Copies of this chain bind each other. A is one copy, B any other.
């Protein structure tokens, strides 16, 4: 679990709700038609904007925002250095038994290609295209949330304009103006709150997670090609360590 996302959503909404309750009843902020306009309008706009299969796929991707880091770069580097040692000692075919020890489908595919004796340039091309595709799928996920974050306040404005027109058309009784205007403003409140405490931050988290995952896969590609070309495990480790922060580096060879 990614606790930052959970704490952020609950903490953010919690404080907003406490502030809302402190100034009066929470039920003042509940309004059916406003919710219908913001949720319905935003979802409608997204449905027009993207094919239905992409929107379904985004639910899959969105779960990433709530999941903890899948793999530690340090662990992957250790695995690749071990594979480099084994490959130099027992031959590249011996990597086959490493497949049982990993669960990352990308690493498994990479090992399989190398064990099958595929040409290095072909290994690189296939893994890079695969990585491009993964990046594109992530980018689409983040983009759909950004789009929701842009449409929600706009639909909020639509709802507020509807409320204002309705209020102004029947302005006979001055005592109803206040509450009617309050209801009109709730739609904008929904739109701005959803955009800034849900849609846009989740889009941001998906982008961050995606760049972490892609960095890790880039590291795997470099490592696998280095193993295939029979590089020294020490050189391999030094090369892969430059991908991560100094404080995360744990050498099997040197004390930095």
Residues of chain A having any CB pair with chain B under 8 Å: 2-5, 7-9, 11-16, 18-20, 22-24, 28-29, 32-34, 36-37, 40-41, 43-52, 54-55, 65, 69, 122, 125-126, 129-130, 133, 137, 147, 151, 154-155, 157-159, 161-171, 177-179, 181-182, 185-186, 188-189, 192-193, 195-198, 200-202, 204-205, 208-209, 212, 235, 238-239, 242-245
Distance (whole angstroms) from the CB of A251 to the closest CB of chain B: 14
Min CB gap A35→B, angstroms: 9
Q: Pick the contact of A33: B19, B48, B198 (CB < 8 A).
A: B19
Task: Say yes or no: B23 contacts A40, CB within 8 Å.
Answer: no
A99 to B12, CA, bound (A): 49
15 A/B residue pairs, CB under 8 Å, sorted by A: A2-B51, A4-B47, A4-B55, A8-B43, A14-B40, A15-B40, A23-B163, A28-B166, A41-B197, A48-B197, A126-B242, A147-B204, A158-B197, A167-B178, A168-B181
A235 contact set on B, CB distance < 8 A: 122
Contact check: which of B24, B48, B151, B188 meets A5 at CB < 8 Å?
B48
Are the C-beta atoms of B12 and A48 separated by less than 8 Å? yes
Q: How many copies does the complex hold?
A: 5
Query: Is A16's CB under 8 angstroms from B158's CB?
Result: yes
Docked-complex contact A50 and B4, CB < 8 angstroms = yes
| Given A48-B5, A245-B133: A24 touches B166 (CB 8 Å cut-off) | yes
* CB of A40, distance to nearest CB on chain B (Å): 3
User: Closest CB of chain B to A191's CB: distance in Å?
Assistant: 10
Contact present for A243 and B23 (CB under 8 Å): no
Contacting pair A242 B133 (CB below 8 A): yes
* Given A7-B47, A23-B163, A54-B208, CB of A196 within 8 Å of CB of B13: no
Q: What is the distance, in angstroms, from A108's C-beta to the closest C-beta of chain B?
A: 11
